[in-house]
Structure 1
Amino acid sequence: MPDWNRYVTRVLDLMKRYPGVIAFFGFVSGISSFILVDRQEGLATWIATILLVSWLWLMFENSVMKLFTRIFKRQVPEPLLRYGTQMIHQESLFFVLPFFFITTTWNSGQLVFTTLLGAAALVSIIDPLYYKWLASKRWLFLAFHTLTLFAALLTALPVILHLTTAESYKLSLGIAMLLSFPSMASSFPINHWRRVLLLLAMTLAIGGAGWLLRSWVPPATLWMTEVAVSTDFDDQNRTPGDSVEEISTSQLRKNGLYAYTSINAPRGLDERIYHVWRHRSREVDRIALDIHGGRKEGYRAWTHKQNFPDDSVGRWQVRVETEDGQLIGVLRFVVTDTNQATLTRPTGDPLGVKPGTDDSEPAPPQSTPSTPEQTN
């Protein structure tokens, strides 16, 4: 019979000698999956499915190993199990990073979440930090574990099950809460009914914090491909005119403004988003738009606002949000008392430019200003 321990030892030695290989593979697979999702190729679904299967293995690792020992009368080396856990963390974190990096609005609270994921990814490939600092503190390791799973689910569920962003967030948060309870129970043994109440309260607190801070979590599979705030719109070609950075009140009341967004979503995903027009941090209009995934250039949608308040001077935002309030992007412009407008060409750069709803009045060509326009 082959000496499996000797082979396992050799594999472990190679992995320890080149610790960045697994992380590099995870990052490359994440980039590949991101590109494949963009091109609507089915292989991306397989990559995400394999990732989730590896997480199921991690959840039931101890039970499976006990069953293996009982049946085959052999034990799997402990270093291999510990490295397997680390490998899954590395693969998961570097898999999701490309998605969150592209979809993050960097001048918002989403910066915190994505930076946290990046820091966790670095910890996973630095053995002294991972084993001596993280793994030695059970509660910290479990928090790390739950965060990684939460991010992986947010990325994989829309691809595999074609769930909307709102559905994926709720399901991912629910799974994270369920898994956090037994994890915390293992760290804080239940030897009194007060401990049960405390653990329930901690679990609910985790879920409540995740829900209240949902706007800080980027929608992993939705991103902007083109955005513009313009006074003109080409109805025939479905394209906006020059994008406005500053506009006078007289021009604003004469022509109104179009908020144009092109949003990339995975194939088979039907999503409701909102253009939220905001003036001086106050919501003015919220307009619903239904988008459909599968178009490489993104699903084009726009709203036309014509009725502005008497006091329109100041900073405006058009925020693009999901049904649950996750931020996809923000468009910004300033209304002035002058008669000079500052124009730029529409941009295809989604970073830092996010559409949102204030009280916007979407207007179709030659129609009332209360109907949103959209096209694929």
Structure 2
Amino acid sequence: MSEHKPRRRTQSSWDPPTVVYQPDGQVADPAAVRKALLRNAPEAKAKQEGPKPEGSEAAEAAGAADPKDAPREPGDRGPDEGAPLVSPAIHDDLTVRMPGKSGMQDDPTVHVPGKAARSRDFQDDPTRLAPIRTPPTSNIPPPRSDHDDDEERSPQGLQETVQWILKKHGSKLWWLHTAYALGLGAFVVSYAQKGFERARWLAVSVGVAWLVVVLFFRLFGSGARQDFSTAWRSARLRFLVMTYVLKNLYQGMLFFLLPFYWKSASFEVSNRWFVVLLGACALLATLDLVFDRVLMRWKFLASIFYGVTLFACLNLVIPALLPNTRTLYTLMSAAAIAVLGFTMLHLPLGALRSPGGVALLLTALVGGTGLAYATRRAIPPVPMYLSNAAVGPLTLPDGRLAMEVKALHESVIEKLLAVTDVVVPGGKGDRLHHVWRLNGVEIYRAPEETSVVQGPEATVRLQSSLSGRKLPPRLVGHWAVDVETEDGQLVGRVSFDVKE
């Protein structure tokens, strides 16, 4: 009967892996771990069993003659046996010595997780895994992204250099373009001073601007539909090209209009606010980021902006194309065309075939022209303006004042004279009046038939006076002489004070 030898359990596939990390955070080679365990096995076994009794070494030497009967080391295995087993004593010692890599010889100590004392523990729970130590993070560099690589990598070639500059300094370049637009506006203002007849070209600009606005919103839509953060490059390019064309058209028109409205406005009365509105529109046309991302994003805002610009342009274009036109007719015509342009941006042409669409358009026209008539006093009567205006006690033979006063005492007042020169580059289509006011109350109105005198060419000189019974009983206060059209639009004002 053969002697039965207990079969040693080999390592199976369900045995949990033992992961060993070196001090630099790298996973150790399993073969190196096995050799280190086998090399340290006698030392660990000696620690566990304690000192050996005398004579034991001789007995071990005698029994070692037969290789089969010789005691085996924990890491040894026979030809018909599986993977070597390590004694529990080795696993109980969590630190073993391993040869480190180059540069790591100072601290070759690594940590090995302990193994269960009984194999039955693993059989009871085959899903159990050995704890894995997290490698130290101090020596691990942070993850790098493609964006960091793109920033550190130097651009190659002209195209990549331009793209890199646009990507890194895009916003700064837009603000630089804003400065360029302001410089262009200053040039247009100086160009406008050279002649009123150049205003005819505004008709071409407003027509092209209307076509571009219509095409723009039909291509890109309004509001949330203009989301170009995920749009393809060609769509963004068309968007930028069209907005750039619109900005240049608006800048040319608005900066051309400003000097004419500035000269026609009187900043002591309400028509100064229309000039402020045009100035704000001109400034907005130079702010690329605001114009692109706010104004042209919403169709309603863009159509209001276009309507105001169109109305202001037509007030100047109509007298240039049709001289000697009455300012009220110019005002009403400009309002009607501006309302028509605004409505057609929102109302399709097919809607005009229905009675409802026609009624809506007529209602908008009536409302727009009525609003323009009601606010006519707040709109300067371009292109007319005052070139000279003063008040004094005496006049020269040529009709000019011998003395211009801004303040005088009531005791010296026997007669007050006002002389104003009105420049009419668009022809004389209105009758003008002198209106004398004391503290805002009308005292006297002098019609043109009794106050017009000979003046310079293309200028209407008005002269009126207050004396005798025309003078009020109390003269102290703030006086003003207004030059108005027959429809009540203010051309200019001269003011003075009378003191006690």
Instruction: For residue 108 of structure 1, report the CA deviation from its aligned partner.
Output: 1.7
Distance 1:300 1:207 in 2: 31
DSSP-derived class of the 1:95 partner: helix
Mapping 1:136-285, distance limit 5 Å: 136-162=297-323, 163-185=325-347, 201=363, 203-234=365-396, 236-249=397-410, 251-252=412-413, 254=414, 256-266=415-425, 268-285=427-444
Instruction: Tell me: CA distance 1:267–1:156, structure 2 relative to 1, closer, same or farther (3 Å).
Output: closer
Partner of 2:480: 317
Instruction: For residue 247 of structure 1, report the CA deviation from its aligned partner.
Output: 4.2
Higher relative contact order (CA 8 A, sep 6+): 1
Aligned Cα root-mean-square deviation (Å): 3.8
Kept after mapping to 2: 8 A contact 1:27/1:97? no
Instruction: For residue 298 of structure 1, report the CA deviation from its aligned partner.
Output: 4.2
DSSP-derived class of the 1:107 partner: coil
Partner of 1:52: 203
Instruction: Tell me: CA distance 1:203–1:160, structure 2 relative to 1, closer, same or farther (3 Å).
Output: closer
TM-score, structure 2 as length reference? 0.53
Kept after mapping to 1: 8 A contact 2:453/2:463? no
Instruction: Tell me: CA distance 1:328–1:169, structure 2 relative to 1, closer, same or farther (3 Å).
Output: same
Instruction: For residue 327 of structure 1, report the CA deviation from its aligned partner.
Output: 1.4
Instruction: For residue 160 of structure 1, report the CA deviation from its aligned partner.
Output: 2.9
TM-score, structure 1 as length reference? 0.69
Instruction: For residue 120 of structure 1, report the CA deviation from its aligned partner.
Output: 0.7
Instruction: For residue 284 of structure 1, report the CA deviation from its aligned partner.
Output: 2.6
Instruction: Tell me: CA distance 1:251–1:232, structure 2 relative to 1, closer, same or farther (3 Å).
Output: same
DSSP-derived class of the 2:484 partner: strand
Instruction: For residue 207 of structure 1, report the CA deviation from its aligned partner.
Output: 3.1
Instruction: For residue 184 of structure 1, report the CA deviation from its aligned partner.
Output: 4.3
Instruction: Return the index of the structure with the highest Cα Rg.
Output: 2
- Residue type at the aligned position of 2:443: V
Partner of 2:495: 332
Instruction: For residue 293 of structure 1, report the CA deviation from its aligned partner.
Output: 12
Partner of 1:286: 445
Partner of 1:342: none
DSSP-derived class of the 1:284 partner: strand
Instruction: Tell me: CA distance 1:229–1:98, structure 2 relative to 1, closer, same or farther (3 Å).
Output: same
Instruction: For residue 145 of structure 1, report the CA deviation from its aligned partner.
Output: 0.3
Kept after mapping to 2: 8 A contact 1:266/1:293? no
Instruction: Tell me: CA distance 1:122–1:214, structure 2 relative to 1, closer, same or farther (3 Å).
Output: same
Instruction: For residue 266 of structure 1, report the CA deviation from its aligned partner.
Output: 0.9
Instruction: For residue 21 of structure 1, report the CA deviation from its aligned partner.
Output: 4.5
Partner of 1:129: 290
Distance 1:78 1:144 in 2: 18
DSSP-derived class of the 1:108 partner: coil
1:33 is aligned to 2:184:
no
Instruction: For residue 148 of structure 1, report the CA deviation from its aligned partner.
Output: 0.6
Partner of 1:344: none
Q: Which has the larger strand fraction?
A: 1
Distance 1:136 1:123 in 2: 14
Kept after mapping to 2: 8 A contact 1:267/1:294? no
Instruction: Tell me: CA distance 1:94–1:271, structure 2 relative to 1, closer, same or farther (3 Å).
Output: same
Instruction: For residue 312 of structure 1, report the CA deviation from its aligned partner.
Output: 3.2
- Residue type at the aligned position of 1:323: E
Distance 2:430 2:453 in 1: 6
Per-residue CA deviations over 1:111-142 (Å, capped at 9, x if unaligned) read 21111111111111111211111111211111
Instruction: For residue 203 of structure 1, report the CA deviation from its aligned partner.
Output: 4.9
- Residue type at the aligned position of 1:174: A
Instruction: For residue 172 of structure 1, report the CA deviation from its aligned partner.
Output: 1.4
Partner of 1:114: 275
Distance 1:317 1:212 in 2: 23
Per-residue CA deviations over 1:175-208 (Å, capped at 9, x if unaligned) read 222223323436xx99x98887677555544433
Instruction: For residue 289 of structure 1, report the CA deviation from its aligned partner.
Output: 2.3
DSSP-derived class of the 2:347 partner: helix
Mean Cα deviation higher: 113-122 or 172-181: 172-181
- Residue type at the aligned position of 2:478: R
Kept after mapping to 1: 8 A contact 2:332/2:372? no
Distance 1:181 1:293 in 2: 46
Kept after mapping to 2: 8 A contact 1:28/1:95? no
- Residue type at the aligned position of 2:318: L
Per-residue CA deviations over 1:314-333 (Å, capped at 9, x if unaligned) read 33221111232221212223
Gaps of 5+ in 2: 1-165, 167-172, 217-234
Gaps of 5+ in 1: 1-12, 38-43, 66-74, 339-376
Kept after mapping to 2: 8 A contact 1:27/1:98? no
Distance 2:270 2:244 in 1: 33
Per-residue CA deviations over 1:153-189 (Å, capped at 9, x if unaligned) read 1222223321343332222122222223323436xx9
Q: How many residues align?
A: 305
Partner of 1:81: 242
- Residue type at the aligned position of 2:422: I
